[in-house]
Amino acid sequence: MGEMYIRVAEDENEEPMEIPSEDDGTVLLSSVAAQFPGACGLRYRSPVSQCMRGVRLVEGVLHAPESNWGNLVYVVNYPKDNKRKMEEMDAASAVKIKRGIQKTSDLIVLGLPWKTSEQDLKDYFGTFGEVIMVQVKRDPKSGNSKGFGFVRFADYETQVKVMSQRHMIDGRWCDCKLPNSKQGPDEPLRSRKVFVGRCTEDMTAEDLREFFMQYGEVTDVFIPKPFRAFAFVTFADDQVAQSLCGEDLIIKGVSVHISNAEPKHGNRTADSTDPGVRQSPRRSRFSGD
């Protein structure tokens, strides 16, 4: 029997691709996997019963049903674990597309000593990465520093790292943040935190950390004890946290919902989103964490 092609698709409703058969009319599983990575077999819908039927697979060779492949469309089978990983990758890709390409922004540097010059700023921040702009804001009449300035980096990763920590410049602690931020001194930590709902008990802190690291640097993972079907994940970059809010993501085969972890205003004493609360006597039931 000469070479022929069979029609194979990842889903019944998708455009099929033609896969070549061997001289004896069989199809190698490796030929299918070359076009559909992770494939472990084929199935098709019976024209008679309208049920899905599996194609016989023997030692890596797929055999045509009823001696010929016909004009049917065969659907790819995947192992359950592999399919789950693919779903997670698809979800991750969708969120990354939503976030788009991250560009650097001018960051405001607050709390600068009066003596700090632009060269001092450039020398200090140059230790983190390439600096493309620095500016110390000064009074136009006196020329004296106003106690703040601006810096911009070439790489977004450097910007994230700089914003995630405080800075000792000329003997004084300074903060570096986005200039349009209206948050108070303790707000950035909360804005970088997300609430992960619908968690299952088999999800560990390490599982969550490993999953969310694909979106950005994770600084903390908190799962309340006793288990309450949710967790909190804190990122180094608040933009990453905000980009995930409202998403439904697949973790270990389970759909979890991501939302903003910011508590209601004026309710700091009952703020279960703050890991520091775990040390409070009022939260003593978490002492085993």
For 6-20, the pLDDT digits (tens) are: 999 988 888 898 999
| Pairwise pLDDT comparison (100 vs 46), residue with the higher score | 46
pLDDT tens digits, one per residue of 121-174: 999 999 999 999 999 988 888 888 888 889 999 988 899 889 888 899 998 888
Phi, psi of 47 (to 5 degrees): -65, -25
Is this model's pTM higher than 0.85 or not? no
Q: What is the mean pLDDT of the chain?
A: 80
Total length of the chain: 289
pLDDT of the residue at 104: 81
- Structure tokens that stand for 13 in this block: 């409703």
Percent of all residues in the chain with a pLDDT value above 70, rounded to a whole number: 77
Residue 120 and residue 135 in contact, taking contact as beta carbons nearer than 8 Å = no
Number of Cβ within a 10 Å radius of residue 107: 22
List the single range of 90-94, 218-222, 223-227, 282-286 with lowest mean pLDDT.
282-286
For residues 208 and 254, is the Cβ–Cβ distance under 8 A?
A: no
pLDDT at res. 88? 64
